[in-house]
Amino acid sequence: INFQKHLKRLNKSLENLKIKYPFNNSKSLELIIKKLIKLNNQKEGYLYLQITRGNAIRNHLFPKLAVPNLIIFTFLANLDKKSVLGGVSIGLTDDKRWSRCDIKSISLLPNVLEKQQAFEKGFYESWQIRNNYITEGSTSNAFIVTKKNEIQTHPTNNFILGGVTRDSVLEIAKKLSFKVKEKAFSIT
């Protein structure tokens, strides 16, 4: 679903990270993904794709001749209907991530630590705060419904990982005639 939108975000991140696209064209990747979904009999679930710069000696400089590595796997969706319908509890933490959160990368250490800390405190998620404003969750985007009955979320910029799911939520909300405001919000 939304393959072209996901591909666009993937290409943006690869370009920003200066990683070579591992295929001659996007159709090859699409065929591999469709085959993987079929082989794993995925009806509802997730597909995870990771591309690295490639194998090289340990060095911070980009290797000249490395061929990108590609990892793709699927896993089942494990949605808790009670949580989906009733909501979840969240904790608040300082946003310790770097200032290029808009690049989808495997640099997730702050997110992983915040998610674990939230779990240990009995929360489902942790919303991260930067300059007194909620940026996003450790594994999700953050949305609120205001007193004016508007759906509000942080604007797309370098401090959040905007993406296809976030855009889909906003698109659906607008189609259902909800007012949507992309504006940073605080906890007060």
- Name the residues annotated as catalytic: 104
Residue pointed to by tokens 């993937």: 10
CA distance readout (Å), 106 to 24, 53, 112: 23, 12, 11
Is there a contact between 16 and 51 (Cβ–Cβ < 8 Å)? no
The CA distance from 134 to 136, in Å, is 6
DSSP 123-172: -SEEEEEETTEEEEESSS--EEE-TTSEEEEPPSSTTS---HHHHHHHHH
Nearest 5°: phi and psi at 38? -65, -45
The CA distance from 78 to 41, in Å, is 15
